[in-house]
Structure 1
């Protein structure tokens, strides 16, 4: 139904406007009692789908990637569609408008999206207020720096977001790989990246134990670009092992435009969707093999079918995330992936 009726209608309109319209529609439908219907349509409940990764228990390995629910406005409703976890963000200390519109583009012929949103969000404190109402959804907090913060002061921005979100998320993701914030990817260089991750890990390990005795350090993951060379990926493995963070998310969007057919393929920004399928899987496999599986990997990038998801898992991913595939294929993709995992178990 989604691909035959709903998607063709939604794709007639501006992508960013459709995004906010869809948010409003999902929220409205859940308010009038559709949450149970969504769950019955898309949830797959089976103990064989459960995963324990970096100390957390996931009811299934299919999550929603950051960028869809930036401000933690819809995580509860989105979880009704069958996701095992929801990643919010990217959040920055101060709210910011992001880059000028138009900044989101569909590449229909390539089953892809180009975005240059630029970390548009209402600021970390607004998201915290919404997260206080969480009713059992496993949440990842994706954090970044404000556009106007120079790289030499970027660590402070990540510290602010980390401190504010700590009581309200289950794991953290350090985003230094978006191509849409000027000079952000320079933070992927070995020295600044090690400093950033070590600073956050030191904060993490120094957290006081809560009176209940349950407040523990939380998993910190690094989200990397698919455009890194093998030498840079080897540096990532070294940094992860040195700082002892929990793992890696592979991968973010790409700046490559190789093999694209769509008219608007030259738009600036990060490319996601089917053109990223192969490269993201290559990065996952490389990290897994070269690290001797020494840390978990969340695989994301170009997952449009259950088979795409299985490839990521077989390449070494412990969990996977959807974004563009969710937009193109609809929530039935979540169910089909979980069913395929059960078939292969």
Structure 2
């Protein structure tokens, strides 16, 4: 069993590397203009509402050049304090907004995490506190909620202080798991209380990615569940917390449904690996035709 798991992990890593290499090559090829669907979210202008999820371009090799593929933003990471030295200076030759996804590692102090956020602030258009990774799992236990609150409060203060002292404002977003019958309503209320700018709802259970899970997301029932979760979150958050959605988006219909359910920005990952670097152009063009 362990050997099968190791082979699957190796296969996923190779597929990921190939998909990123293809995206980087495609971003340098002069091509037809990407469909223009600019949106304003969290006081930022995005070339389109469709972006790349964290995990695809972890260290920023593609960076802002993702706009050449039709993406309005590219979220790099997820990164921990030890990963910051490997972070590329993201390419500035594109117009895609750059998000930096940072792990809230339960093993680190508020001071260590604050230093990581200060470093990332200098390069990011928006920052994401990742609360769905294995290192943050201990903080999701109800007994650890007081510590989670303290850490989120400290990071919110850190970002706010940087925004006041800098020449620009970098919004702060939290990434939360949003599974069937488990929308993160209680944590969303905490984000509202602390003054976060956005909530990224992750509708997929996470790695390891499998072909069966990719096929499962093609079912209308699966897509409808994700939209219902977004609708619940939207009713709670209103316009006080920008909603983002990731997990299972493969078609223009999926994209449109998430936007209509309340998401202002939508991310893709696995579909980009399966369908290739021109995915965004196809989804946005078909969505424009429908609109």
Separation (CA, whole Å) in 2 of partners of 1:144 and 1:60: 26
Separation (CA, whole Å) in 2 of partners of 1:75 and 1:318: 21
Separation (CA, whole Å) in 1 of partners of 2:97 and 2:48: 11
Corresponding residue SS for 1:299: strand
Aligned to 2:167: 215
TM-score, normalised on structure 1? Answer: 0.70
1:68-90 deviation line (CA, Å, top 9, x unaligned): 01111222443321111100000
Aligned to 2:4: none
Q: How does 1:184-333 map to 2 (within 5 A)?
A: 184=138, 186=140, 190-207=145-162, 215-227=167-179, 230=182, 233-251=184-202, 253-254=204-205, 262=212, 274=218, 277-333=223-279
Contact kept in structure 2, 1:250 and 1:280, CA below 8 Å: no
Separation (CA, whole Å) in 1 of partners of 2:180 and 2:119: 31
Aligned to 2:100: 141
Structure 2 residue runs of 5 or longer lacking an equivalent are 1-7
Corresponding residue SS for 1:80: helix
Corresponding residue SS for 2:168: coil
Separation (CA, whole Å) in 1 of partners of 2:154 and 2:43: 21
1:173 to 103, 119, 128: 128
Contact kept in structure 1, 2:104 and 2:136, CA below 8 Å: no
- CA offset at residue 321 of structure 1? 0.6
Corresponding residue SS for 1:207: helix
Corresponding residue SS for 1:206: helix
Contact kept in structure 1, 2:246 and 2:268, CA below 8 Å: yes
Contact kept in structure 1, 2:97 and 2:125, CA below 8 Å: yes
**Distance change >3 Å, CA 255–CA 204, structure 1 → 2:** closer
**Distance change >3 Å, CA 256–CA 163, structure 1 → 2:** closer
**Distance change >3 Å, CA 288–CA 26, structure 1 → 2:** closer
Structure 1 residue runs of 5 or longer lacking an equivalent are 1-10, 95-122, 266-270
Contact kept in structure 1, 2:132 and 2:177, CA below 8 Å: yes
Separation (CA, whole Å) in 2 of partners of 1:250 and 1:243: 18
Aligned to 2:59: 71
**Distance change >3 Å, CA 256–CA 159, structure 1 → 2:** closer
1:287-333 deviation line (CA, Å, top 9, x unaligned): 00233343210111100110011110010001111011222222343
- CA offset at residue 237 of structure 1? 2.6
Separation (CA, whole Å) in 2 of partners of 1:272 and 1:197: 34
Separation (CA, whole Å) in 1 of partners of 2:265 and 2:169: 20
Aligned-residue RMSD, C-alpha:
3.2
1:254-280 deviation line (CA, Å, top 9, x unaligned): 1699xx995xx8xxxxx9955764443
**Distance change >3 Å, CA 318–CA 25, structure 1 → 2:** closer
**Distance change >3 Å, CA 203–CA 249, structure 1 → 2:** same
Q: How does 1:37-56 map to 2 (within 5 A)?
A: 37=30, 39-40=31-32, 43-46=33-36, 49-56=37-44
Separation (CA, whole Å) in 2 of partners of 1:297 and 1:285: 10
Q: How many residues matched? A: 277
Separation (CA, whole Å) in 2 of partners of 1:319 and 1:220: 14
Deviates more, 1:134-143 or 1:242-251: 134-143
**Distance change >3 Å, CA 197–CA 145, structure 1 → 2:** closer
Corresponding residue SS for 1:36: coil
